[in-house]
Amino acid sequence: MQKFALIGAGFIGSVHAHNLASHPDVDFKLVYDIDLQRATTLAAQHGATAAASLDQIFENNDLDAVFIASSTDSHAQNLRHAADAGLAALVEKPIDLDLETAKSTVAYVERAGIKAMVNFNRRFDRAHAELKELVHTGQIGDVALLQLTSRGPALPPVDYLKSSGGQFRDQAVHFYDLARWITGQDPVKIHAYGSALAAPEIAEFGDVDTSISSLLFPDGALAQIDCVRHTNYGYDERIEALGSEGMAESERQRSGHVTLLQGQQAQSHGLHGNWFDRVQPTYAASLGAFVQSLEDDREVPITLREGLKSQAIAQAAVRSAASGRSETIDYSL
């Protein structure tokens, strides 16, 4: 049984609270939020207690782990506190939007020796995980080409985008991570184009809503990643992996199973109307994998260092979009 505190009681925090409360090996103790009322409400829903301050979490002798789901700019600080307190930590990505800060945080945490995992939840998508397994068991031979599609249904609030770090660091980074995970390789070069098409106003703060990234792996394998913020046709996420022996895909997923045939047309359920309907199950699975690594005293499935690597790719994508060059990815930590 692992005793958990949760930091952050916003939308995604409430998802994690539900999963913490439902996990049979988790004792969900505390919730902290900068808005105490929000923490109190969420804690009450799940039989936990609201913490009035972070000290109640980090100076607590009766906790095993902390789930950091607070605002991005507090991730690094909370990780350092967890390291000081000897608490295992599961942290939402990114570790910090500033890569240098992220690196020094990881170094700090590693010295402390706590178990710490970055929450790249999409690795726990059941179909993506099956695809990865097909690749890793040699079903498609040597990987030659990946195609990753990441398209959200509608533009998030501009306020969110402003503090998100931009499309490459916020959205594409999940797929850089998936590309590394599926191939088992770190790409060496990246090229990216990006445009602000659905929301030209976000170009003012340097963001884009439509982008394509090309990756080159050490053995010559290639990857394409297309990221769109606003599809107007639902949430479209899928992966193809083509290898020397065949191709595996994690397919587009429809939101239902009814078709109406009339005249010359067939009208079917389209895709999920929002991202959460599609990715919801990944959060419980991700938490479950983290808890299992604590129970078994094994390495966490996604180390902070892996988080840094995917962030380094995103950083190179940002550079490429500006320079018009294929950029070498710098993994020095």
Question: Contacts with a copy of itself in 146-175 (CB under 8 A)?
Answer: 147, 149, 151
Q: Among 29-37, 60-68, 91-99, 128-136, which window interacts with a copy of itself (CB under 8 A)?
A: 128-136
Nearer to a copy of itself, 157 or 220 (CB): 220
Characterise 248 by phi-psi region: left (phi > 0), alpha (psi -120 to 50), beta (else).
Answer: beta
Least spacing, CB of residue 221 vs a copy of itself, in Å: 7
Kindly report the backbone phi and psi dihedral angles of residue 96, in degrees, each rounded to the nearest multiple of 5, phi listed first: -160, 145
Least spacing, CB of residue 316 vs a copy of itself, in Å: 13
User: Taking the chain, what is the end-to-end CA distance rounded to the nearest angstrom?
Assistant: 34
Among the listed residues 195, 205, 206, 330, the single contact to a copy of itself using CB under 8 A: 195
What's the CA gap between 63 and 319, in Å, rounded?
41
Taking CB under 8 A as the rule, does residue 1 contact a copy of itself? no
What's the CA gap between 90 and 302, in Å, rounded?
10
Among the listed residues 118, 131, 173, 294, the single contact to a copy of itself using CB under 8 A: 131
Q: What single-letter amino acid sits at 247?
A: M
Residue pair 246/207 in contact (Cβ under 8 Å)? The answer is: no
Residues 266-325 that bind a copy of itself (CB under 8 A): 266-271, 273, 324-325
Nearer to a copy of itself, 101 or 149 (CB): 149
Residues 207-226 that bind a copy of itself (CB under 8 A): 210-212, 214, 216, 220-224, 226
Taking CB under 8 A as the rule, does residue 111 contact a copy of itself? no
Residues 70-109 that bind a copy of itself (CB under 8 A): none
Q: Among 78-86, 102-110, 125-133, 165-173, which window interacts with a copy of itself (CB under 8 A)?
A: 125-133
What's the CA gap between 196 and 155, in Å, rounded?
11
Residue pair 225/172 in contact (Cβ under 8 Å)? The answer is: yes
Among the listed residues 62, 113, 159, 264, the single contact to a copy of itself using CB under 8 A: 264
What's the CA gap between 91 and 114, in Å, rounded?
13
Least spacing, CB of residue 314 vs a copy of itself, in Å: 17
Omega before residue 187 within 30° of 0, cis:
no
CB-based contacts of 322, cutoff 8 Å, min separation 6: none
Q: At what angle do helices 275-295 and 11-22 cross, to 10 degrees?
A: 50
Least spacing, CB of residue 329 vs a copy of itself, in Å: 13
Helix (H) or strand (E) holding 143: strand 143-151
Among the listed residues 33, 170, 236, 306, the single contact to a copy of itself using CB under 8 A: 236
| Token pair recorded at residue 161 | 């985008």
Among the listed residues 155, 247, 285, 333, the single contact to a copy of itself using CB under 8 A: 247
Count residues contacting a copy of itself (CB under 8 A)?
72
Least spacing, CB of residue 317 vs a copy of itself, in Å: 12
Taking CB under 8 A as the rule, does residue 126 contact a copy of itself? yes
CB-based contacts of 164, cutoff 8 Å, min separation 6: 72, 156, 170, 207
Nearer to a copy of itself, 13 or 234 (CB): 234
Nearer to a copy of itself, 44 or 145 (CB): 145
Q: Among 66-74, 95-103, 131-139, 300-308, which window interacts with a copy of itself (CB under 8 A)?
A: 131-139
| Token pair recorded at residue 330 | 């710098």
Nearer to a copy of itself, 80 or 230 (CB): 230
Render 185-211 in DSSP notation, one character per residue: S---EEEEEEE--S-GGGGGGT--SEE
